[in-house]
Structure 1
């Protein structure tokens, strides 16, 4: 340790010095940069033998006398074989453990702060449910500063091989919560939920364990028969399934559809970006059959209860996904098919039975088309070609429409 010399600085010089680094003696230094003046102590670590520097505050907040006192305390620690910087970090961590937040508390703060930026209004509930079911039983009550790799693995290992996609989402959510905690100053160090360069050294890659699950689809040869069975039903759920089939939209897009999205004059359904999986507005050409279904359910319109095209039993709520599934299962005579699978039926038909270009079918399904370069050149949405294709699809699946005599019979 350098020999302690007499005090070189005065309160006046501390306030008047220009840019530079100035020693007061006794390992105390003042660094002046523009309008900032900060104190630090330089010493050789008694643990590693390496030169270290520890900040002890701004000259605006810490007087010369206080800076000298703190420098003396640091020198005494070194004499006792204690590294002052390590001790400072240990004390800081101890304070966090005493007053810090639990992982569940931090997660809730993150969800509340981030929710306005999420497109899907259901996201906060999905996040809470996911973390409550998978993460909180293992680490919800643990102080966020103390979360380690073993805690994250305790969450992931039981579900990594069986429900890999869910496990991946849970891992990502834990990682983001812990990143948020670090940004807020509630924890330090590497993120134990990070995949690349960390968990990928422990857990098998998702692609190695994920079991590809396909949505069971109605066979192309059976689609007209199923649609006919749906057409014979007066139920609102059956009509929603038919509308979904004729527009090849997703279940959530159909169930949450509102009347203001329908342009009857131009025969177009415009789904806003906020409700689309890709986050882009999507225009859907409406065929005669799709329009007939809309006309049939129009008497049920109630703008005071959400204005849903396919309203559910509860006021202000649309039909449930389960209601659509039940209607399809009844019409198909089996539970081995899914509503989402109707999109696959359409895709198979377009590829196997038509000459429509691949990108037309992909755009009808609101899928991303090609790479970024190809998408940049194809700025349109091929709407005219899509309308022609949807009319051809209707020819394959449509049945004669018989409106019910009593609109009140349109129950799910």
Structure 2
């Protein structure tokens, strides 16, 4: 069986196996002898595409009214950009590049323990320009680029994977994530023809009144063929309402050049929430907190007046435990089974055994409470050894 030489094929042959949807596409016994399961050759190459991920995190976040870089504002107890990185970690990407700009040293320091590299955008000249500064850093064997924003902490790895699968299945050169919004204010609009084919993305400031009535919006997440992306970006100008290089303009150019482009519709529009204000920051936190509450409920934990509770995602709580209203359960906490934690209690870096009762209004920091103990209301126990792991 003979094939023309292809970089993607050569890369795949360096791997003992390549999987698609959990099924082996091929295996080989020696560099000169291999077997390919009968699949479309184009489809085979799509499965083997190498993805470089770019996370745009250079913005100042003026509307946050803060000296802290926007992507470092905490959502559910960690910087919002860390949630984006957590979603990307679920994917088979070959590299992740974070584009930094405003206070870039601070952002790089906060992400120093992540397996990422950085590209510095010294002048913020739009999303297209942010991607342009990454060109020299994208790995030589990458044929596809995944682009996300660092201020979308609710995006899920499963959603990104579904978009990748659609991109592969449709053999697209460009794929855009979109979603429906009841109120699309602030988002770029997805413009399609009568057949539903993607034509362009129009930023709200440049949209006509008719286009502003469109409820399908741009999520700011793209999958693009590497060569098409950077060649097209080089052609863009700043003739628009914001005087910037719009990444969205590559969609219109793809249409003009008859390049195959499509869109993936995100079923849950909350995932694409871009955090640009303190209000949106609070909304994103509440959504993440609620997701964790669901996990606790499923584990048999009772949460009284959950809207008043704050529970760190690393908290472990046993079945049949009741957490009273207005409690704050902070980091590094383990609570056993059948416990009763009274209202207005704060617990941090502590371990409670089974069947412990904590009276209302108590404060426990850095302590261990043995099984069966009953603490009266207003108990305050603060250990001087706070800081070590007790789990």
TM category, shorter: under 0.3
More strand by share: 2
More helix by share: 1
TM-score (norm 1): 0.20
TM-score (norm 2): 0.21
